[in-house]
Structure 1
Amino acid sequence: MEEAIVLYPSPPIGHLISMVELGKLLLTQKPSLSIHILITTVPYDSGSTAPYIANVAATIPSIKFHHLPTVTLPSTKTTHHEELTFEVLRLSNPHVREELLSIAKNYTIHGLVVDFFCCAALSVAKELNIPGYHFFTSGAGALAGFLYFPTIHNTTTKSLKDLKSLLHIPGVPPIPSSDMPIPVLHRDDKAYKYFLDCSSSFPESAGIVVNIFASLEARAVKTTSEGLCVPNKRTPTVYCIGPLIATEGPKDDADTRNGTTLECLTWLDSQPVGSVVFLCFGSLGLFSKEQLREIACWREVATGGLAGVRSILGHLLTCPLKMDGVNEFNLVFKKPELRAG
C-alpha cells in the first residue's frame, strides 16, 4: 500500500496554511508520500479557508483534504474562542478515528501530526497504534513556555493574573505572570484546563515539530531539546523545520482583488524604507494600544528615530493614537489578504 502522513490542523486559516506547508515540505523529501489533511469547522469566523483548500487540492494531487462532520456544542457560555476550539476538536475525536480507519484501508499511515489545539486526537492515534506528533506553529520560546506550564501549575496555587511575580521559564527571559496568554491567566477557567491538558500531552508524543530554525532561537531550542522545560519527564525529540512560509496563494488573494490592486500594497509601496513595522498576531489575535506603545518606544530607542508604526493586519486599534516623540499610529487596513515581500 501507499505510504501516508495525516495532518490535523486547528481551524484558523493561519494554522491550516502552516500545516499545508509542512505537507509540501514532506513531499519534497519523499514525493511518493500521500498527505491527508483533516478539516474541522468552528462556530466563529476563523478566516475563509475554502478558496485556499480548493487551490491546493487542484494544484497538488498528493495533498488530500478530508472534511470532518460538524459537531454539536453544548449550550455553555465562554469568553474564549480558544475554549470553543478545544471543545470542537475534542468532540471531533470519534470522526477523527473513523477517518483514520478509512484512510488506513488504502494507505499505510506512518504518523498523525496534530496542531497544539488538536492534542485530544493523540489518544486516538495511540489507540490505533499510529505515532502521534505535535506540530507547534509558533516559535521555540512559546514552546518552552507551554512545556513548562504544567510545572508552573504544580508549583503555584494562585491564578497567574494574581501571582504578581516573574516566571522563570528555562530558555526565555523572565516573564511577568500577568503577561502570560489571556486564556491561562484564570486558574478556574475551562480554557486554562484545556491549555494545561495539551501542555501535559507533549511528553507523550513521538516528537515535536516546530516552525522555526534552530539558530533563530538557539537558547530556547537548546533548553527544550535538553529536557529542561519538562523536569522529571521525557522530552520528545524536537525537530526545527521552519520557517514554513506560503510562497503563493490563490490568485484573488495575491496582489489584486477583483482586478484592483489592493490598497494596502499601494500604501506600503509609498512608504520610506525602514519606516514600517508589520504587526501580526494571527488571524484572531490583536495588539492593545499599550503593546503598540511598547513596540514603538523600543524601535525608537533601537534605531534613534521612528517614522511611524502602522498596523496592517488585524483589528488592532479603533482609533489613531499619538505619544510624545513618536509619530501617529494608524490602523491602515483591516484584515486584507496581504502578500508583502
Structure 2
Amino acid sequence: MARKTVVLFPGVGVGHLAPMLELAKAFLRHGGGAVDVAFAVVEPPVMGNGFAATVARAEAANASVAFHVLPTPPPASGSEGDGEPEQDHLARMVGFLRATNAPLRDLLRSLPSVGALVLDMFCGDAVDVAEELGVPAYFFFPSGAAGLAVFLALPARRASMSTSFAGLGASTVLSFPGAPPFKVSEMSEGISDDGEAFQAILRIAARMPDARGILINSFESLEPRAVRALRDGLCVPDRPTPPVYLVGPLVSPGGDDKEHECLRWLDAQPDRSVVFLCFGSMGAFPKSQLAEIAVGLEKSGQRFLWVVRSAPGAGEPSADDDLDALLPAGFLERTRDRGLAVRSWAPQADVLRHRAAGAFVTHCGWNSTLEGVAAGLPLLCWPLYAEQKMNRVRIVEDMRLGVGITAADDGAVSAEEVETKVRWVMGDSDGARALRQRAAAARDKAAEAIAEGGPSDVAFVEFLKDLLEASQDMHG
C-alpha cells in the first residue's frame, strides 16, 4: 500500500498547536511507515502570542514532519475598523479559518496521496474541503471528553430553548449529558448569549458529526461519565455520533530548556515542597492582582515557583519591566530563601514533573490540566478565560483532583484566598492528603493509558486502522 500523507490543521493559537504536535508524534510511532505527517499552519491575524516562533521551534524539533504555511487570506470586507466589539474575536477567528479553505484546498491538491485531514475543533468549515476532495476528515478535540459532550449538545439544546443561555440568568444551573452540572456563568466565553461568537460555535458544533471520527485528548479513566454519554449517543440526539477515540494524555514530554534557572533552583528544594504558579500563554494580571498573589504567597510560608506575567494597560508596567518593578517592594528579598519568581516563561512540563513540585496553581487550560494530572500534582484552579471555568467544575467535581480558588465578583482574588488555599493544599489535613493520593493514582492511570497496550494506545491503533481503510476506500 502506498504511503499516505495525513494533514493536521491546528487552526490558530499555541494551545491548539501544542497537543497536535504530540498527536503527530503518535502517528510517527504507530504509522509503521504507512503514513507521512504534514501540518497546515496559518499565521493568526490577531493574538499571535508567539505562534510563528512556536511553529519554527516545532519544525526544528520534528524533522520528519513537514510544515506548510498557508498564505494568509485577505481580510473579509468590513472586518477592518468597523468598530466590532472585542469579545467577538472568536467569531472573527472562525471566519478567518473559513477563509483559509481556499489555500488549504490548494495545499491538499498539491500533496501526494493525502490519506486524511485531521482538524482542530474550530476548523469545522474545512470539512467542506475534505468532502470536495474525497478525503476522510477527523476532528481532534483538544479539551477533553466532557468538553466535547457539551460542545456537541449545544445546537440541539439551544434549539429547544425559547431564550439564550444568558437569558436564563447567570446563576442558573445547567445539566448536559456526560458533564457535571455547571452555572450559566461558568459556560465558555461567547456562548451564553446569542451573538456572533455563539452562532459561529453552533455552526462548528453542528458540522462535527459530519466527520468520520473524533479524537479526544483525554483518557477513559479520567472522564468515564463523559465517555459513556458520547458512546451512547446522548450528546447528539438527532443523528449518529461519529466514533470517538480517547488517545491522551498527549502532553509535552518536557526538555524545552534543561538549563533554565528554575530547574536548578528546584534541585535544591525538598521533595514535593514547592507550589508552582503558572497561568498559560495568555494568563497575565494587572499589577494590583500580582500584589495580592505576592502577599498571599509570603504569608502562606510555603515554598513557591511563580511565573509572573503582567497585563499591559494604561499605567501598568511594560512587559520589559523587571520583577522588582512589578511586585511589592522587598517581596523578592524577603522570600528569596523559599521562593523564586521568573519572568513570563518557565519550562512547565519539566517543572511539573520535578520531584520538588508539590502542587500546581493553574488557569485550567486543558493542556496544563493534563500536564498537571500526568505529573500527579493536586490542582489549585484559577480559571481566566475560554472554557476554563467549566474545566474547573470538571476538575473539582468530577475528577476530584483539585480545589477551586474563589474570586470576587470582579474576578479579583484576594491575598487571603491565595494564602488559605496554598497553605491547605500543602498541608497535612485529611482532605489534602486524600487529594494528593487521588492525584498520584491519576498519574499512574495516565501513564498506563498511553503505555503499549493501554486504552489510549489501543484507541490510537484502532483510529489509524480506520483512517487507512477509509483512505483505501476513497482512493480505490
TM-score by length of 2: 0.58
1:29 corresponds in structure 2 to 30
> How far 1:161 sits from its partner (Å)?
2.2
Query: 1:271: how far off?
Result: 7.9
Structure 1 match to 2:167: 162
Q: In the alignment, residue 122 of structure 1 is paired with which amino acid?
A: V
Residue by residue, what CA displacement relative to the aligned partner does 1:271-322 show, whole Å, maximum 9, x if unpaired?
Answer: 8735526454x533679999xx9xxxxxxxxxxx99599864765899999x
Unpaired segments ≥5 residues, structure 1: 294-304, 322-329
Alpha-carbon distance in 2 for matches of 1:334, 1:181: 29
Shift in Å at residue 151 of structure 1?
A: 2.0
Which residue does 1:284 correspond to in 2?
282
Structure with the bigger percentage of helix: 2
1:196 pairs with 2:202: yes
Q: Map of 1:82-93 to 2, 5 A cutoff?
A: 82-93=90-101
**Partner residue, 2:179:** 172
Pair 1:102 & 2:101 matched = no
Confirm or deny that 1:336 pairs with 2:341. Answer: no
Q: In structure 1, the residue corresponding to 2:118 is in which secondary structure?
A: strand
- What are the residue-to-residue correspondences of 1:1-341 with 2, within 5 Å? 1-32=2-33, 33-73=35-75, 74-75=79-80, 76=82, 77-80=84-87, 81-103=89-111, 106=112, 108-164=113-169, 165-187=172-194, 189-248=195-254, 253-256=256-259, 261-262=260-261, 266=265, 270=269, 273=272, 276=275, 278=277, 280=279, 282-284=280-282, 307=302, 312=307, 332=341, 335-339=344-348, 340=351, 341=353
Change in CA separation of 1:8 and 1:167 when aligned onto 2, cut-off 3 Å: same
Check whether the contact 1:97–1:124 (CA below 8 A) recurs between aligned residues.
Answer: yes
Q: What CA deviation, in whole Å up to 9, does each residue of 1:160-215 have, x standing for no partner?
A: 2231222110111111122101211221x211111111111121111010001111
Q: Distance in 2 between matches of 1:147 and 1:185?
A: 15
Q: Measure how far apart 1:53 and its partner are.
A: 3.1
Alignment-mate amino acid for residue 3 of structure 2: E
Aligned positions, number? 309
Change (3 A) 1:148 1:277: farther
Structure 1 residues 141 and 308: CA distance shift in structure 2, 3 A = farther
Deviation at 1:84, TM superposition (A): 2.7
Determine the C-alpha separation between the residues in 2 that align with 1:287 and 1:145.
Answer: 29
Secondary structure of 1:47's match?
Answer: coil
Cα–Cα, structure 1 residues 60 and 46, in superposed 2: closer, same or farther, change >3 Å? same
Q: Secondary structure of 2:11's partner?
A: coil
Distance 1:264-1:58 versus aligned 2 partners, 3 A rule: closer
| Cα distance between partner residues in 1 of 2:136 and 2:126 | 11
Compared CA separation, residues 178 and 59, structure 1 to 2 (3 A)? closer
Q: CA deviation at 1:140?
A: 0.9
CA contact (8 A) 1:56 1:63 kept: no
CA contact (8 A) 2:8 2:37 kept: yes
In structure 2, the gaps of 5 or more residues are: 293-299, 317-325, 329-338, 354-476
Q: Displacement of 1:130 after TM fit?
A: 0.7
SS in 1 for 2:223: helix
Residue 98 of structure 1, CA deviation? 0.6
* Mapped contact 1:316–1:331 kept (Cα < 8 A): no
SS at match of 1:64: strand
Could you tell me whether the CA contact under 8 Å between 2:166 and 2:192 is conserved in 1? yes
Report deviation, 1:14: 2.1
Change in 2 beyond 3 A, CA 1:87/1:315: farther
Change over 3 Å in CA distance of 1:182–1:45 after alignment to 2: closer
Structure with max Cα Rg: 2
Aligned to 1:327: none
Q: Measure how far apart 1:138 and its partner are.
A: 0.9
